[in-house]
Structures are given as structure tokens and as C-alpha cells.
Amino acid sequence: MNRFALAALAAFTLSAPAFPNIALAGDYRVGGIEVRRPWTRPAQAGMNGVGYLTVANVGAKPVKLLGVETPAASSATIHQSSMAGGVSSMREVTGGLTIAPGAKIEFAPGGYHLMLMGLKNAQALGGKVPLILVFDGGRKMKIDLSVEAGAPKADPMAGIHMDH
């Protein structure tokens, strides 16, 4: 560990007691909104990509996630997958998602997810994909999705987006 890392660690340790809900590395917090573990899958340029993350309202007022933007794809929308009679389908979520104080929304395989239509570049393992979350009141939160392999065994929907 070099001197800089030690200094950073010391600063972190000193500031930690003031922030009992301190976010882990790779998480984001702006005002009363916390974003945890944003990730996406490896993909080739031209394919449709996905985005997964947890958005938590750690503030005192309801917040509404209106949509998402990214320079990495032609368009980006919120989708919801569901199972009915053994058939899975997905639809675009319009009108936004309201998150009550203390509540969270999980974007995860098989449920809510972000759909990145027409990726401009390939997404390689270990890379980052920039994303902007748009909330009510004009608030925007810039985050990076980290490109991860995910957990195929726990993800029966893994192949769904290939022909979406």
C-alpha cells in the first residue's frame, strides 16, 4: 500500500462515523438517493445491452425515477420483465417509478432492468458504461455500469435480450 492509499484510508476511517449509511466503493449517493452495484453484461457493438442496479431512497421525501440516458447507446429505457403462464415478456415502463422514503427498487435479471438499445461500442469485461439517471425535479445522477459476467445460473432470463 502506498502513501496515498494510506492517506485515503485514514480519511475514510475518520469520516466514516459521520455517515453511518456510507456507501461501498462503486456505489453512488447524491442527496437522498443512493445507487448500489450498477452493472451490465459484456456485449458487442450494435447489440442491445442491459443495466442492473439498486436505487434506494435514503432521504425523507419520495423520489421518482423518470428515465435513463446514455451516450453509449441509441436509446435507453426502463423495462420490466414478467412471467405469465410460463411465458416471459417485457414491456417498457412509462411514467417513471416512484420510490418512497426508505424504499428501494432493484433492477435485476427477471424484473426491472435498463434497456440500452443499439450499443455504440463493444462492452468488455472490466469496462465501464456511462449512464445518467433522470429524477423528478430535473435532478440527474451520473453513474458508471461496470461490465460483469453476472451470475448465469441464477439468471434464467440471461438469453432473453439476445433477440429483444
Secondary structure E strands in the chain: 28-30, 33-40, 49-57, 63-69, 73-84, 87-92, 97-99, 104-107, 112-119, 128-135, 140-147
Angle at 121 between CA 107 and CA 163, to 5 degrees: 55
* CA 18 – CA 101 distance, rounded (Å): 21
Residue pair 88/160 in contact by the 8 Å Cβ criterion: yes
The answer to whether 79 contacts Cu ion (rule: CB under 5 A) is yes
User: Phi and psi of 149, rounded to 5°?
Assistant: -75, -20
Min dist CB 103 to Cu ion, Å, is: 23
Q: Pick the closer one to Cu ion by CB: 57 or 129.
A: 129
Total chain residues near Cu ion (CB under 5 A): 3
CB of 96: closest distance to Cu ion in angstroms? 17
Compute the least distance from the CB of residue 17 to Cu ion, in Å.
42
* Between 34 and 65, CB nearer to Cu ion: 65
Shortest spacing between CB 12 and Cu ion, in angstroms: 37
Establish if 41 lies at the interface with Cu ion (CB under 5 A).
Answer: no
DSSP state of 123: B
Is residue 70 packed enough to be buried (19+ CB in 10 Å), middle (13-18) or exposed (0-12)?
Answer: buried
Residues 1-30 binding Cu ion (CB under 5 A) are none
Measured from the CB atom, is 23 or 157 closer to Cu ion? Answer: 157
- Does residue number 90 form part of the binding site for Cu ion (CB under 5 A)? yes
User: Is residue 119 a contact residue for Cu ion (CB under 5 A)?
Assistant: no
Does the footprint of Cu ion cover residue 115 (CB under 5 A)?
A: yes
The answer to whether residue 141 forms part of the interface with Cu ion (CB under 5 A) is no
Summarize as ranges the residues that interact with Cu ion (CB under 5 A).
79, 90, 115
